[in-house]
Structure 1
Amino acid sequence: MIDHTGVAVRDFTASRAFYTQALAPLGYGLLAEFTAAVTGHTDVAGFGEHGKPGFWISRGTPNQPPVHVAIRAGSRAMVDAFHQAALAAGGRDNGAPGLRPHYHPHYYGAFVLDPDGHNIEAVCHEAP
């Protein structure tokens, strides 16, 4: 249903580096980047897979309250790797990898807060 989404970030360079490292274990990479001269508004960077950016950051005043973005992972190991990479990139733990059976029996997720406090999650819905 949703084609793409994004968040505003205070320090564009630091956030671009954070997301580049944190999303790599999920198979997402930096696929597009445009300056304010191109967009007519602000600098933006798009992350995604298979040539299609689906998650964007833009230089600006961070969303208040911070937003929650969940990114689908293909395996529980990818969720674990995302959490480790995000913490190594400077994210703050907001929920270690694990089952969240109150959502459904196979819901396996991990949560980190990005440099602006946005709650970023990697989630796998598959049985082990």
Structure 2
Amino acid sequence: MIGYVTLGAHDVEAALPFFDKVLGAIGYERGFFEGGWAGYGPKGESQNLYICPPFDGQPARAGNGIMLALRARDIAAVDAAHAAALAAGGTDEGAPGPRPEDSKSFYGAYFRDPTGNKICVFAKADAA
């Protein structure tokens, strides 16, 4: 079980509107922004996703081959998160839809945040 995830950002405060919109679309909310860190988690629960500057003081950059995948409650939330990402300055890495194309069990969308981190938002058939 994963306890939490951190994503590096060039400017955490500037990244907040992007993450507020995208994560809000899947039922997450920002629990705090303090000391250069922002914490997000499912509404009413503990934070499990943190946006922060890299600990080593070097510029934030996306990891090659690293992707964060967040489960949404349904396909409407996947569509909303992808639209929010693009509207808030993210870049498209794969429009919402079934993966593979004929799948009846996995529906996902892919995008990058302004730092370049790759993110997937998905719903499983049991949530559709």
Category of TM-score, reference length = shorter chain? 0.7 to 0.9
TM-score, structure 1 normalization: 0.85
Q: Is the 8 A contact 1:7 1:63 kept in 2?
A: no
Query: Which whole-Å CA distance do the structure 2 matches of 1:64 and 1:98 have between them?
Result: 24
Evaluate the alpha carbon distance shift between residue 88 and residue 64 of structure 1 in structure 2; reply closer, same or farther with a 3 A threshold. Answer: closer
In the alignment, structure 1 residue 5 sits paired with structure 2 residue 5: yes
Q: Whole-Å Cα distance in 2 between the matches of residues 14 and 94 of structure 1?
A: 22
- Please state whether the residue corresponding to 1:109 is helix, strand or coil: strand
- 1:56 alignment partner, one of 42, 50, 53: 50
TM-score, normalised to structure 2, is 0.85
The structural deviation recorded for 1:10 is 0.5
Over aligned residues, Cα RMSD in angstroms? 1.7
**Could you tell me which amino acid in structure 2 is paired with residue 46 of structure 1?**
G
* Residue 34 (str. 1) matches residue 34 (str. 2): yes
CA distance in 2, matches of 1:64, 1:87: 17
Q: For the Cα contact (< 8 Å) 2:41–2:48, is it kept in 1? A: yes
State percent identity of aligned pairs.
Answer: 34
C-alpha separation in 2, matches of 1:63 and 1:52: 26
Alignment partner, residue 38 of structure 1 = none
Aligned pairs for 1:1-128 within 5 A? 1-35=1-35, 43-49=36-42, 50-60=44-54, 61-65=59-63, 67-101=66-100, 105-127=104-126, 128=128
Q: Deviations over 1:58-108 (max 9, x none)?
A: 023324525311111010110000001111111100100000138x64111
What residue ranges of structure 2 are gaps of 5+ in the alignment?
Answer: none
- How many residues matched? 120
Query: What is the alpha-carbon distance in structure 1 between the residues aligned to residue 93 and residue 40 of structure 2?
Result: 22
